[in-house]
Structure 1
Amino acid sequence: MSEGLLLKGFEVELFTGRPDGTNVGVASEVARDLSDFVTEPDHRNLEYITPPIRAYEDLPEALLRPRRRLRQWLSPLGLTLLPGSTLSLGNSSRFERSDPTNPYHDLIETTYGTKVVTASIHINLGITDLNWLFAAVRLVRCEAALLLSLSASSPFLGGELTGHHSQRWHQFPLTPKQVPLFRDHSHYTQWVEQRLADGQMRNERHLWTSVRPNGPRRPYELNRLELRICDLITDPAELLAITAWLELRLLELRDHPQRLDPLLSSQLSEKELAELADSNDAAAAHTSLEATLHHWQDGRPLLSRTWIAEILEQLAPRADALGLSDRLRPLDKLLESGNQAMRWTAANSQGCSIGDLLRQGSCAMKDQEESVAHLSGTLG
């Protein structure tokens, strides 16, 4: 049942490497041979984008078909797909360019180095009503830490346990360093134009924050919300559960803006809301579901896990009405058993090596791809 649901698309970044977890870069060669893949500045990871789809039952195959094609391409080279969102076993200090002639890549390497060599998943939800879109950006900015808490999958870097559940978000350079809660489209447009003029942004895409408006001609033509904070989520059931949670939250916002738009219902100022959101994101990057966050309504402290459970309960009637209750069930397991980073950290503390964890994760990714292929009748 897809009536009343939003269009959904995903930008998926992946690491390639050996079965033992060592990163090996082949992005340029993959992009040359497989038209649906594009390079990142460092050739150890690459990206594909799914088409906009409304129905949840069609999303698993759209997500996993490119992974199967890439895996088939990698297999003769003895390479595979790696889970996680950082260079878990790779050289985390050396940048490995995918295109040495690209001047924008020069800027990335010189300015940020390997801080940006990460893998993640960006969730795009189609919203063309600009008032709803900017209210959605505000609400998600204030609750993005919850989505990072569910998706954290990067506790390792360079063969070491870092102490952060999302090392990726901990190290990623937010740009510009201070981003306001946008009051409306005009505010956003003027702000972007000013940042381009003063050099804080090098192009219209150079807004690296937890969530942003997106569209065919930013900042002027917009048609979707892009959530950027999530670590790589390799399990499609978990990814669609997080996506359904986000979509239901935005549908609730559409119908109850006076209660859910932070600019209309918070006791905090715009500046305080932006600072609270960034502080919550940093706390979630550190301890994810166990982080103490502060609610955007009044600044009260509460555990990330508790806040997520409270919202899940609030969303239950709409989820039931839209036939999404089953889609949300993986979130119960995440809240009970922990996210990927928490599970990996616990296993590593019991003596399981990082290489073994990556190997197991890579095998699980392959099993997911084959399982969905069998269910959909797709061979590759």
Structure 2
Amino acid sequence: MQLSKGFEVEMYTGTPQGDIVGLSDQIVAALDGFVREPDSRNVEYTTAPLCNYERLLCALVSPRRRLRKYLHRLGDFTILPGSTLSLGDSHKFHRSDPGNAYHTYIEQTYGTRVVTASIHINIGISDPDVLMRACRLVRVEAPLYLALSASSPFLDGAVTGYHSTRWGLFPATPTHVPLFESHAHFIQWTHEQLAAGTMQNVRHLWSSVRPNGDRRPYNLNRLELRICDLMVDPLALLAVTALLEARLWMLLQDPLLDPLTASSLPTATRGEDLLDITQANEAAVARQSLDAELHHWQDGRPILARDWIAQLYQECWPLAQQHGFSCFLSPVKKTSSRRQYGPALATAISAGS
């Protein structure tokens, strides 16, 4: 048995030379399954929820093949890798839908900090109480998935100092998102944000992890991990997804993994302390990815991101074997041991040497 999984994949389009060109209007009109983002240089496709990893692999690759084929018909265009405007112009917003009031709000409030490409991983969990517990665990461990995917050290042709410039600049919204204690808490909090204007609509919740469903905040059926940079290698993406799924199976078997009960941090301030640790960990990983020193949510002890991932990998492996997807998990071991960008390497790449 495996959980259902689906992806939202955002990408840039442009020329083989790296110039990013907005083509989303034409793409959406011509190809089923693609949707516009506020900036026309982005386009997105979504895969249907599937349990089987082999079928997921096909679902990830097929839309890209169709898109590349269509782009070639338009001219000398292709899909560009990366999660930021690496060689683009981040000073100007290229509106895809000038008449859309929500897009106007996004442009005026955030500018091009939201013009990024990423992967959103959705895992199906139908029980709302289990879903909230899963969101709490994945929220405090979300920095590890960013560490595995971080791949955006450039913006506007320059080195930024981040391994994930996307997450370093992206405006998490609202600025304070609690660890939801229950489904009722999530509903109440959402209504409060809508009334206060900190959220413009139920989709305007841009945290690393959020509960999702067809009628938010009421009907929920999946966990959405939003923190990952764009992973163009589908096997690497499936490996990260396998780690996430195996970790959720651990939680399903042992509900006491819930950070609100399993952490040894002071009970009176545990929720806020966990948020402080998590936000600091996200910031550290955005800058140094696998080499970042983090603090563990269980007790606050320091631990390198790559060491934490290696520990989770060992703990998750038996469950991945039990549920039949360990072969898709195995690339995590290689990814977590790779060398990361050093300043000299980033500078050399930027200079074209």
Map 1:144-183 → 2, pairs under 5 A: 144-183=142-181
* Corresponding residue SS for 1:15: strand
| 2:17 paired with 1:25 | no
Task: Specify the code of the residue in structure 2 equivalent to 1:288.
Answer: S
Normalised by the size of structure 2, how large is the TM-score?
0.96
In 1, Cα distance between the equivalents of 2:25 and 2:182? 39
Aligned to 2:329: 328
Corresponding residue number in structure 2 for 1:235:
233
Conserved 8 A contact 2:174-2:206: yes
Equivalence for 1:113: 111
Do structure 1's residue 263 and structure 2's residue 260 form an aligned pair?
yes
- Once residues 136 and 354 of structure 1 are traced to their aligned partners in structure 2, the CA distance between those partners, rounded to angstroms, is 43
- 8 Å Cα contact 1:337-1:343 kept in structure 2: no
**Correspondence 1:58-137 to 2 at 5 A:** 58-76=55-73, 77-137=75-135
Cα deviation for residue 303 of structure 1 reads 0.2
- SS state at 2:330 partner: helix
What's 1:295 paired with? 296
Q: Does 1:53 align with 2:50?
A: yes
C-alpha separation between the residues in 1 aligned to 2:100 and 2:155? 27
Q: Report the RMSD for the aligned CA atoms in angstroms.
A: 1.4
1:137·1:212 contact (CA, 8 Å) conserved in 2?
yes
* Structure 2 counterpart of 1:214, one-letter code: N
Contact 2:36-2:96 within 8 A present in 1 as well: yes
Per-residue displacement from partner, 1:285-327 (whole Å, max 9, x unpaired)?
Answer: 1100000111111111100000000011111211222222211
What TM-score does the superposition give when structure 1 sets the normalisation length?
Answer: 0.89
Corresponding residue for 2:320? 319
Q: Secondary structure at the match of 1:337?
A: coil
Q: Distance in 2 between matches of 1:70 and 1:218?
A: 31
Whether the aligned pair in 2 keeps the contact of 1:5 and 1:54 (CA below 8 Å) is: yes
Check the 8 A contact 1:20/1:355 in 2, yes or no.
no
Check 1:355–1:115 CA distance in 2 against 1; reply closer, same or farther (3 A cut). farther
Alignment check: 8 A CA contact 2:157 2:350 kept: no
Gaps spanning 5+ residues in structure 1: where? 357-380
- The equivalent of 1:277 in structure 2 is 278
* Structure 1 residue 207: Cα displacement: 0.4
User: Identity across aligned pairs (percent)?
Assistant: 55
Q: Distance in 1 between matches of 2:263 and 2:283?
A: 21
Number of residue pairs matched?
348
Residue 288 of structure 1: SS of its match in structure 2? helix
Offset from partner CA, 1:179-236 (integer Å, 9 cap, x none): 1000010000000000000100000000000000000100000000000000001101
Structure 2 counterpart of 1:203, from 178, 188, 201:
201
Partner of 1:30: helix, strand, or coil?
A: helix
Confirm or deny that 1:188 pairs with 2:189: no
Task: Single out whichever of 27-36 and 120-129 deviates more from structure 2.
Answer: 27-36
1:336 Cα deviation (Å)?
2.0
Q: 3-state SS of the aligned residue for 2:72?
A: helix
Residues 328-369 of structure 1 deviation map (CA, whole Å, 9 limit, x = unaligned): 12112112224xxx36977544x345779xxxxxxxxxxxxx
Alpha-carbon shift at residue 22 of structure 1 (Å): 1.1
* Separation (CA, whole Å) in 2 of partners of 1:221 and 1:78: 44
**Superimposed CA distance per residue, residues 127-168 of structure 1 (whole angstroms, 9 cap, x where no aligned partner):** 001221111000000000000000011111000011100000
User: CA offsets per residue over residues 259-293 of structure 1, 9 Å max, x none?
Assistant: x1001111221111111111111111110000011
| TM-aligned CA distance change 1:185 to 1:354, over 3 Å | farther
Aligned residue for 2:89, secondary structure, equals: coil
**More off after superposition, 115-124 vs 268-277:** 268-277
Whether the aligned pair in 1 keeps the contact of 2:153 and 2:346 (CA below 8 Å) is no
